Amino acid sequence: MRHEQTRTVILGVAASDSHVVANHLIAHELRARGFTVVNLGACTSVAEFADAHAEHPEAEAVIIGSLNGHAREDLQDLPAARAAGRLGCPVIVGGNLSVGSHKHASDDDRLYALGVDEVLTDLDALPAALDRLREHGPVRRTSAPVAAPVAS
């Protein structure tokens, strides 16, 4: 009899965001697919994600949701956590990732520049992204940090 290894992910909502309904739906969906989900809930800092990864080094990804549009600001500590070796697994970010109704490709580039491995706008893409990361590892983006727009 073959015993499949349990897959573990760490899930939470970005630091300034208290929207948890989608978070619970994502956790439910992943558990239904056999994942162990460490759900940190709302208003989770990068340091809390890093602490959870230290407690669960088997986690194959950290999944961060944001609906208030402030993901980039909430993840400013991600490069330092990565450099310190505190968050070595892939980081996936999804939801409404920028403020305003007009989205730009540079919004994703700014997240990649912080060290995010996958940016998702469609929840249905999450299982495939986890499978791809597990099989092939993260694709390290080489885009340079993008400067914030200058107010006119």
CA–CA distance, 32 with 29 (Å, rounded to integer): 5
Residues in CB range of 119: below 8 A, 6 or more apart: 92, 93, 94, 97, 108, 111, 112
Would the CA dihedral through 116, 7, 121, 67 be positive or negative?
negative
Confidence of residue 137 (pLDDT cuts 50, 70, 90): confident
pLDDT of 140: 66
pLDDT at 152 over 60: no
The answer to whether the CB of 17 falls within 8 A of the CB of 42 is yes
User: What is the CB-side half-sphere exposure of residue 69 using CA atoms within 13 A?
Assistant: 7
Tens of pLDDT along 39-52? 999 999 999 999 99
When comparing pLDDT for 78 and 2, which is higher?
A: 78
The pTM is what? 0.86
pLDDT at 13 over 50: yes
pLDDT at 123 over 50: yes
Q: Look-up: residue for tokens 């499978």?
A: 131
